[in-house]
Amino acid sequence: MTAPSEDIPVTADADAAARAPAAAGTPRLSVENLRILTAPRRGRPDADVVDEISFTVQPGQVLGLVGESGSGKTTVALALLGYFKRGLRLGGGKVLVDGQDVLALPEHELAKLRGRTIAYVPQDPASALNPVLKVGTQLREVFTVHGGDPGRLDEVLAEAGLEDPAPILAAYPHQLSGGQQQRVALAMAFACRPRLIVLDEPTTGLDVTTQRRVLDTVRGLCRTYQVAAVYISHDLAVVAEIADEVAVLYAGRLIEVGRAREVFASPAHPYTRGLMRAVPVLESTYELHGMAGSPPRPGSRPRGCFFQPRCEFAVAECELRQPDLVTVSPTGHAARCVRAAEVVALSGTAILAGERAEPASDEPVLTISGVSVSYTDKPVLRDVNLVVAARQSVAIVGTSGSGKTTLARCVVGLHKDWTGTITFAGQELAPGVRRRSQDQLRRIQFVSQNPYSSLNPRQTVGQIVGAPLAHFHKLGNRQHRQRIDDALTSVALRASFAARYPDELSGGERQRVALARALVVDPDLLVCDEVTSALDVSVQAAIVELLLRLQAERGLALLFITHNLPLVRSIADDVTVISAGQVCERGSVTQVLTAPSHDYTRQLLADVPAFERD
Amino acid sequence: MARRPEAFAVLGRAVRTPRGAVGLAIGGAVVLVAVIGPALAPYSSTEFVTKPFARASAVALLGGDTLGRDVLSRTLDGGWELLLMAAVATALGVAAGALIGVVAAYFGGWIDNVLMRAVDVILAFPQLVFALLLVSILGPKIWLIVLAVAISHAPQVARVTRAASLDITERDFVKAMQILGIPGRRIIRRDVLPNLTSVLMVEVGLRLTYSILVIAGLSFLGFGLQPPAASWGLMINENRVGLIANPWGVLMPAILIALLTIGVNTFTDAVARASLGVGGRSTEPDPLVGLAVEGVSA
């Protein structure tokens, strides 16, 4: 084992040195032809969940493993620890950590390895820490189990960015913030100086500022202690920030590997290219492009290239066989595509898209003036002012807890204990739903964040979309059904979806159904509360595309609530930034995002992960 | 495409588990005895066939009871009343309890407080004591017993339903209906109650078990069908003095009551497991489905 070089400072020099191609020396982690299958079940042949997974990670380097829901990234991550989820089993291949095959070890040897040689940082630190034990007790346990000097406790916490360890050690997990919890999880993972660390979307639940700090910590620790890291994420920008190398997973196959900067600057696989076109970017206004279709599930994958049915570059050859990895650059950038060379050449121009046309200012549809909300004594919103004009799209941006969702709930009438005035189409809105007129209720519609809880699982899509229609318009049977069909068609779903139940739909399809339910009664204002935050980027892009099209077609006004700043660029005309219940900045998107006047906005913008940093 | 209603789907899954099949077989057999028994009885239940506590013989297959009536005939005749009363009491109790629970959860605030405090007051009485209290004040009328048992069930059902409804009413699809201005009772009917199907099915099973025990107990104590009518609970009471001379007079009704409760309870257990997706092959989480949604909880 290489002795950890604890005296390497995290300076720019060390940074640069670590980023240089680590050609010399054996890789710390080497995965060879990993194949994981579903366990055989009655009446179904076993299918491979992931196959032909091979990659290496050098000491001190971070590999970003990118993929959307269902691509198999968590399956691969857990296999690095020799662990398989229930219903899955190893089909072949090796996971070598410093030359030792993890998958060949018996369970008791593995147990010794986990935590000491290979550490894992889970997605949700809150559920990974024991709620009834103090943080200190849990951290000490790591040393007791794996051996080590418990006196290093403070040092370990300091490394993870927790400068004042005493109160942290004495606290129970729930007394810490999400960021602190994740740092404790990081401290735990790095405590025994592991040789490999696997991070499974460790920043997903965190706001951008906290995320930035956690990312910096991870990178710093990996460099300092020459730990190899595998960082799993669906967020391309985050991976671009932290990773030296990138591996893109699609339908259980690595479809592109290479140096992070190269892969993101000139993707060689049509899927990666598609993902890049779906990611909103801060620097300029891009039109987002969703990808048609959805990834094939294990067991029902197409012949030939798995991406071919969704691929705009597909040729006859793609249907015949799985393409091999084609190397497109001397640094090892490779993609599993027969037209990789062409795709690389294309990407530079194709990703850019036209500026979002700003609609002419119109008379205001929604005017919020002096709205304040308090829960008991705590102010949630303080004197908020906001105007949405007809056909205009206004974004409200803030981190979690800023009060942005409360504002949305005031507008739609779910929250009724507010002061101030909200005027809609010239009339003042009563606080609660019950005192608003049918017409007002119909003209303001709401789409909520989580498509997994916004649809009644016991009703068909037809019943769900039909509910508002039946409430506001007493239509004949045929007309009723026609309106539902129209609404489904307008959100790009087939009319036959009306007979389906929500559990038969994907996340994107569910969110389309929720949109159809809002649109079926022809609203003037659509309030969207984080409507894309539960979705994959390619699906998010498709929903944004759809929203913009609908807005143009129907002359909708949009109030778009989000924490995702780059997304604002693609969807909104005006933006209002909220922090701690107060508006700190308001203006056109271009103005606020390129020349922010408030410190809070500047901080937010600086913390957003980006593809290019220097 | 049409889909089986949740209730049938869960019942179907429950029956296909060993636990559910056994429970249904035991409970079903007893129900069958009680329902078609009166038609099979060799004698009238009030006819004097033999001597008091006569041993089993060719004339009376299970011997005679305290007055020399045929134990077999009285056993076959004495179950339907218990079953019917238990079923009605359960239906009333669960319906009332579910309504109270879902209304309290949905509307919250003072409505919740008033309803749930009232529920607490009734909960303070043990079930059997509460029923005895009502019956001894107002007299042993059948409808009163059914009502008393139903009332004693309602609070427990209300508590369970309220807890389950609180989870449902916080979901976004309920909010989506609320902001349309759709009245609460319609949202409860169309959006909340259908999502409580499994919970209520388990409650029905549990409450049925309790109903059978409480009503049989009341009958044993003399509140129920009055002599000379046949009733399992009453039979145990009447014949216990002759337990040595002819044990069948006590054993038969006791065994049947025991089997009935065991059967119902076992089947309910299977239903509960089926609705939770615990145990049972067919409800094992599909690994592929799990994969498809793995990133979603983020």
- Taking only the tens place, the pLDDT of each residue in A145-190 is 877 777 788 888 887 878 788 888 888 888 887 778 888 888 888 8
Spell out the residues 6+ positions from residue A573 whose beta carbon is closer than 8 angstroms to its own. Answer: A356, A358, A359, A392, A393, A394, A588, A589
Q: Is B190 on the interface with A (CB under 8 A)?
A: yes
DSSP B66-112: TTSBBHHHHHHHSSHHHHHHHHHHHHHHHHHHHHHHHHHHHH-HHHH
Which sign, positive or negative, has the C-alpha torsion A23, A25, A29, A34? positive
Distance from CA of B156 to the nearest CA of A (A): 26
d(C-alpha A536, C-alpha A67), whole Å = 9
DSSP A290-332: PPSS-PPPTT-PPSS-TTGGG-TT--GGGGTSPPPPEE-STT-
Confidence at residue A364, expressed as pLDDT on a 0 to 100 scale: 87
The pLDDT of residue B126 is above 90: no
The confidence band for A561, taking pLDDT boundaries of 50, 70 and 90, is: very high
Give the residue from chain B lying closest to A413, CA to CA: B179
- A87 and B287: CB-CB below 8 Å? yes
d(C-alpha A398, C-alpha A583), whole Å = 9
Amino acid identity at A423? T
Residue range B128-150: average pLDDT?
86
Per residue in A226-267, pLDDT tens? 899 999 988 888 888 889 999 999 988 899 999 988 888 888
Residue range A324-334: average pLDDT?
86
Confidence at residue A4, expressed as pLDDT on a 0 to 100 scale: 43
What backbone phi and psi angles, to 5 degrees, belong to A93?
Answer: 105, 175
d(C-alpha A47, C-alpha A140), whole Å = 42
The pLDDT of residue A608 is above 80: yes
The confidence band for A360, taking pLDDT boundaries of 50, 70 and 90, is: low
d(C-alpha B194, C-alpha B180), whole Å = 20
d(C-alpha A47, C-alpha A300), whole Å = 9
The pLDDT of residue A289 is above 90: no
- A453 and B171: CB-CB below 8 Å? yes
What backbone phi and psi angles, to 5 degrees, belong to A20?
Answer: -65, 150
- Is A25:A190 a contact under the CB 8 Å cutoff? no
For chain B, the distance separating the N- and C-terminal CA atoms, rounded to the nearest angstrom, is: 31
A72, B13, B240, B284 from B6: Cα distances, Å: 32, 11, 46, 17
What backbone phi and psi angles, to 5 degrees, belong to B207?
Answer: -65, -30
Among A205, A414, A534, the residue with its CB nearest the CB of B179 is A414
Closest to B133 (Cα-Cα) out of B146, B118, B147, B148 = B148
- A298 and B291: CB-CB below 8 Å? yes
Instruction: Choose from A273-277, A470-474, B135-139 the range with maximum mean pLDDT.
Output: A470-474
Per residue in B204-256, pLDDT tens? 999 999 998 888 888 888 887 777 788 888 888 888 888 888 888 889 999 99
Q: Is A284 on the interface with B (CB under 8 A)?
A: no
Strand partners, A94: A32
- Say which residue the tokens 């008991």 belong to: A376
Confidence at residue B24, expressed as pLDDT on a 0 to 100 scale: 94
> How many CA within 13 A on the CB side of residue A204?
23
Confidence at residue B280, expressed as pLDDT on a 0 to 100 scale: 35
- Residues 305-334, chain A: which have Cβ within 8 Å of B? none
Closest to B207 (Cα-Cα) out of B112, B99, B93 = B93
- Is A338:A318 a contact under the CB 8 Å cutoff? yes
**pTM of the full structure:** 0.77
- Backbone conformation region of residue A592, classed left if phi is above 0, alpha if psi is from -120 to 50, else beta: alpha
Which residues of B are less than 8 Å from A533 in CB distance? none
Confidence at residue B281, expressed as pLDDT on a 0 to 100 scale: 35
DSSP A145-176: HH---GGGHHHHHHHTT-S-HHHHHTS-GGGS
Mutate to test the interface with B, among A406, A439, A458 (most CBs of B within 10 A): A458
Q: Is B287 on the interface with A (CB under 8 A)?
A: yes
Chain A to chain B, count of Cβ pairs less than 8 Å apart? 108
The pLDDT of residue B113 is above 90: yes
Confidence at residue B102, expressed as pLDDT on a 0 to 100 scale: 95
d(C-alpha A341, C-alpha B112), whole Å = 67
Q: For all residues of chain A together, what is the average pLDDT?
A: 83
A239, A254, A268, A330 from A326: Cα distances, Å: 23, 12, 9, 12
The confidence band for A2, taking pLDDT boundaries of 50, 70 and 90, is: very low
Amino acid identity at B274? A
Confidence at residue A285, expressed as pLDDT on a 0 to 100 scale: 65
Confidence at residue A496, expressed as pLDDT on a 0 to 100 scale: 87
d(C-alpha A535, C-alpha A511), whole Å = 9
- A39 and B287: CB-CB below 8 Å? yes
Closest to A585 (Cα-Cα) out of A593, A573, A597 = A597
- Is A187:A159 a contact under the CB 8 Å cutoff? yes
- B296 and A204: CB-CB below 8 Å? no
- Is B155:B98 a contact under the CB 8 Å cutoff? no
d(C-alpha A254, C-alpha A54), whole Å = 8
Confidence at residue A359, expressed as pLDDT on a 0 to 100 scale: 58
Confidence at residue B289, expressed as pLDDT on a 0 to 100 scale: 35
Confidence at residue A1, expressed as pLDDT on a 0 to 100 scale: 40
- Is A191:A185 a contact under the CB 8 Å cutoff? no
What backbone phi and psi angles, to 5 degrees, belong to A51?
Answer: -155, 155
Confidence at residue A5, expressed as pLDDT on a 0 to 100 scale: 42
Strands A196-200 and A326-327: unpaired
- Is A211:A580 a contact under the CB 8 Å cutoff? no
Confidence at residue B159, expressed as pLDDT on a 0 to 100 scale: 93
Confidence at residue B263, expressed as pLDDT on a 0 to 100 scale: 94
- A501 and B3: CB-CB below 8 Å? yes
Residue range A56-76: average pLDDT?
88
Spell out the residues 6+ positions from residue A219 whose beta carbon is closer than 8 angstroms to its own. Answer: A62, A242
> Higher pLDDT residue, B298 or B104?
B104
The 3 state secondary structure assigned to A188-199 is HHHCCCCCEEEE
- Axis-axis angle for helices A208-225, A12-19 (nearest 10): 80
Closest to A466 (Cα-Cα) out of A454, A481, A444 = A481
The pLDDT > 90 percentage for chain B reads 35
- Residues 420-439, chain A: which have Cβ within 8 Å of B? 433-434, 436, 438
Confidence at residue B262, expressed as pLDDT on a 0 to 100 scale: 94
The confidence band for A375, taking pLDDT boundaries of 50, 70 and 90, is: confident
> Higher pLDDT residue, A80 or A22?
A80
- B194 and A456: CB-CB below 8 Å? yes
Residue range B264-275: average pLDDT?
89
Q: Taking the C-alpha atoms of A384, A385, A389 and A393 in order, what is their torsion angle to the nearest 10 degrees? A: -40
- B298 and A204: CB-CB below 8 Å? yes
For chain A, the distance separating the N- and C-terminal CA atoms, rounded to the nearest angstrom, is: 35
Spell out the residues 6+ positions from residue A10 whose beta carbon is closer than 8 angstroms to its own. Answer: A220, A223, A224
Closest to A37 (Cα-Cα) out of B211, B291, B86 = B291
Distance from CA of B269 to the nearest CA of A (A): 23
Q: Is A304 on the interface with B (CB under 8 A)?
A: no
Residue range A412-428: average pLDDT?
89
> Higher pLDDT residue, A487 or B43?
A487
The pLDDT of residue A462 is above 90: yes
d(C-alpha B72, C-alpha B78), whole Å = 10
d(C-alpha A463, C-alpha B3), whole Å = 14
SS3 (DSSP) at B187: helix
Give the residue from chain B lying closest to A38, CA to CA: B287
- A471 and B179: CB-CB below 8 Å? no
A266, A271, A273, A347, A348 from A290: Cα distances, Å: 19, 11, 11, 16, 18
The confidence band for B20, taking pLDDT boundaries of 50, 70 and 90, is: very high
